[in-house]
Every structure is written in C-alpha cells, then in structure tokens.
Structure 1
Amino acid sequence: MEGTGPGNAIYVVNHGKHAGLMIRRADIPANQIPERVDFPGAEYLEIGWGERDYYQADDPGVWLTLKAALWPTASVLHVVGVPGTPQEAFAGLEVLRVTLNRDAFLRLVRDIHGSFVRMNGDKALPLRRGQYGDSWFYPARGRFHIFNTCNGWLADKLKRAGLRLGWVDPFTSDQLMARLRRSGAAVEH
C-alpha cells in the first residue's frame, strides 16, 4: 500500500467460521486500545467481532444461531493475548500477513479502538473469559445480523484502512481470505 512512513504487518487467521485480526501489541499507540493492558504477556492481540450471545456461548445451538442471523442483536469483541508469533499460535490454520503503511495501520487501529463500548472514556470492562488462551469478551459497537457478520466486520475494517476487497463484504472466512490473497497478502507458515 502506498503512503507515508514504514509499514506495519498485521495478520488475519482463518478459524473456519470466522477470521481474526492480529496486531502486534507493541505497535499499538499508547492512546489506543487500552484493553491491551489486560494482556501483559502478549506479543500480539487477536481481535474478532460477533453476535453477543452466540459468540460467547460454548454450544450456541439452533435458537442462538437463528437469533444471530435473523435479528439485529448486540455484539462483542473477543480479544486474545497471544504470547508468540501468529504462526506459532495458530499452527495448522491459514494465516495471512498484510503489510500496511503507517497511516493505514493507524486508521485500522483507531477503527478497532472505536469498536469497543467504554464508560467515561476508560477501557472497556470485560464481560467474561474468552474462548481460548488468555482471552476476554468486551462489549462492542454495532449490531450483528445476516448482512453484518463477523467476516464482513473485519473486511470493513480492512477496507477502511485502504485494502481493496470488493464492493460486497465477504460472508465466509474463506471468501475473506481469498480476497486478501488476491490483494497481495502473503501466506505465513
């Protein structure tokens, strides 16, 4: 991507149903994403967005699946503190590296920062422990529904940072990953 300043690598990992965005914790400016203090041993933060009840459920079942798809509902952010590299943490999963110029990277971080629901400008309070590793769920902005899904949310953030991923947001994580590969993202091993 064109722009000013050196580039920052971000990573996108394909979990099957959804994709997660990974940002090196040390690259996040001090005034952005204060929730990072909840993960002192992390080298990276993996961030995903989804329907509040479905995403937090151990076994969402049919009712939560239908509710998530058919009604605009509240959302959460799932943040995972990753102590090593994306490739080590998610060995066996597809991981893509995208290099953004500094301006694009800062736009992406500001956009992610603005996705948290915070009281009085402080950091967001965790709702509950996350799905794996050192992780938490946090309240998020935006309503989840079939036309505003986790993969569409991530694609929107990446497009707002300057990536060209097409007019229509991808529905599946495989569609998102294919578009990222076409945009020049590098496969990590």
Structure 2
Amino acid sequence: MSRKRKIAILLGILLGMAVAIASYFFYCPIPDTGLFPPAPNAKTRTIYFVQHDWHSGLAWAQRGKENFGAENWQNSPFVEVGWGDRQFYFAGDQSIPSILRAVFIPSDSVLHVASFAEPPEQFFKFPVFKIELSESGFQNLLAYVKQTFAVNRMGDRLAAIGKGQYGVSNFYAAVPKYIALSNCNTWAAEALRQAGVSTCPNRALLAKNLAEQLKTQ
C-alpha cells in the first residue's frame, strides 16, 4: 500500500470520528409530549436537581407508602439519588489512574440513595433547582431510577454495598457501566427527559451544563 493511500485512509478515519462526535453532541432526543409542563390544575410532584459541584443529584419528597430511602430509613420525608463510577464515587479513589479509567474504560457503577428530613434547599449546601413534574412524568422518572439498580431474580434491588456520604445513606450496585460520555450528569439529564423535561443528555457532561439547561425550562 502506497504512502498516499495510507494517509488517505487515516484522514478518512479521522473525518469519520469527527462526524460521529459532532453528531453525538448535536443530537438531542425529544421527550414524550404532554408530560411537561404539567397541565393546569393537574396533580404534580416536585423534583429537585442538586448541583454538587461536578456531580448531579435528584431529590423528591416521598408520599404515602413510598419506601425508596436507604434501608435504615426507607420512609424518610425526602430522598436523593445519584449515579456514578464505583471506584471513584463509592471507594473514593480519586487518583489520576482512577480518573483516567473512569473516563476511558467502561466500569462498574453505583447508585447513592440518601434519606433526610429537611427540604433539599435546607439540607444541601449546593445550588438546588425546583422542578414541578406531572404525576405521570414523575412516575416515568422513578421507573428510570429503579431500572438503574442491580436487582435479584425477584426484581428487588440488591443489599447495600456500603454506607453513603451524608444523611442516612447507602451505596448500591447499579447498571449500566460508567464511562465519560455516560456519567452522573447525563444520567440525571436522561431521568428528567423521561419525565418530559426538555433536557439534552448528550450536552450535559458537567453538572453545570445540566443546570444551564434547566434554567431555560
């Protein structure tokens, strides 16, 4: 194979990669219509987006017999969830090799579930965005979060793998695999999109990216 042909093939590959990357960031899946904003006088549920510096969390008030909280306080007034890389988020390994691995290599993930009593605006020392969802939209979001848990044959989430970071909280084994383009912030953005909110997960690689999107809702 001639040198010119090798260069042409390489340039073709690079061009293809550039087009694929550009397409990824330009593509925004459209949420289901009729879910958000809620119809006038419709039953609603409030969700809270918590901007933990680089990390995103979603919180809400539990109603009735909802028992989504950590084992030691499943029926807590409020719960918050966040998804992330197991080694970095749960094990606390913030070394350079760990960060590079989380960015480039698909790795095991965890879901952090926190139970607490105070309203999120009081409990967290980070920016909190309040979003009113339709009841159907909230149920879609809740179903998406539940699907993130690794489950047993009965479909129940597995026992906690360790204590969480604040409040009464635990870490749980989760799915899918974690990688830079599918991280805690894109996960939260997709959860909100499932609820009908016009978020673009592909453009929410950072928590501040998602916060900026929510400011326009």
- Say if 1:8 and 1:102, in contact at 8 Å, map to a contact too: yes
The percent of aligned pairs where both chains have the same amino acid is: 27
Instruction: Work out whether 1:98 is the aligned partner of 2:140.
Output: no
Higher RCO (CA-CA < 8 Å; seq separation 6+): 1
Instruction: Work out whether 1:128 is the aligned partner of 2:165.
Output: no
Distance between the aligned counterparts of 1:36 and 1:103, measured in 2? Answer: 24
167 and 15 in structure 1: CA distance in 2 versus 1, 3 angstrom threshold? closer
Q: Which moved more, 1:167-176 or 1:128-137?
A: 167-176
Q: Which amino acid aligns with 1:145?
A: I
TM-score (norm 2): 0.76
Q: Which is higher, the Rg of structure 1 or of structure 2?
A: 2
- Where does 1:1-189 land on structure 2 (aligned, <5 Å)? 1-2=37-38, 5-26=42-63, 29=66, 33=68, 36-40=70-74, 42-91=76-125, 93-120=126-153, 121-166=155-200, 168-183=202-217
How far does the alpha carbon of each residue in 1:43-62 deviate from its partner, in whole angstroms, 9 at most, with x for none?
11110000111111334211
Q: Which amino acid aligns with 1:178?
A: E
Once the 2 structures are TM-superposed, how far is the Cα of residue 28 of structure 1 from its aligned partner?
A: 7.3
How far does the alpha carbon of each residue in 1:140-172 deviate from its partner, in whole angstroms, 9 at most, with x for none?
111111110110011011111111023633111
- Say if 1:24 and 1:43, in contact at 8 Å, map to a contact too: yes
SS of the aligned residue for 2:202 comes to coil
- Say if 1:50 and 1:149, in contact at 8 Å, map to a contact too: yes
123 and 42 in structure 1: CA distance in 2 versus 1, 3 angstrom threshold? same
Q: Which amino acid aligns with 1:157?
A: A
Once the 2 structures are TM-superposed, how far is the Cα of residue 124 of structure 1 from its aligned partner?
A: 2.2
TM-score (norm 1): 0.86
Which structure has more helix as a fraction of its residues?
A: 2
111 and 28 in structure 1: CA distance in 2 versus 1, 3 angstrom threshold? farther
Unpaired runs of 5+ residues, structure 2, are 1-36
Once the 2 structures are TM-superposed, how far is the Cα of residue 87 of structure 1 from its aligned partner?
A: 1.2
- Size of the aligned set, in residue pairs, is 179
Unpaired runs of 5+ residues, structure 1, are 184-189
- Say if 2:149 and 2:175, in contact at 8 Å, map to a contact too: yes
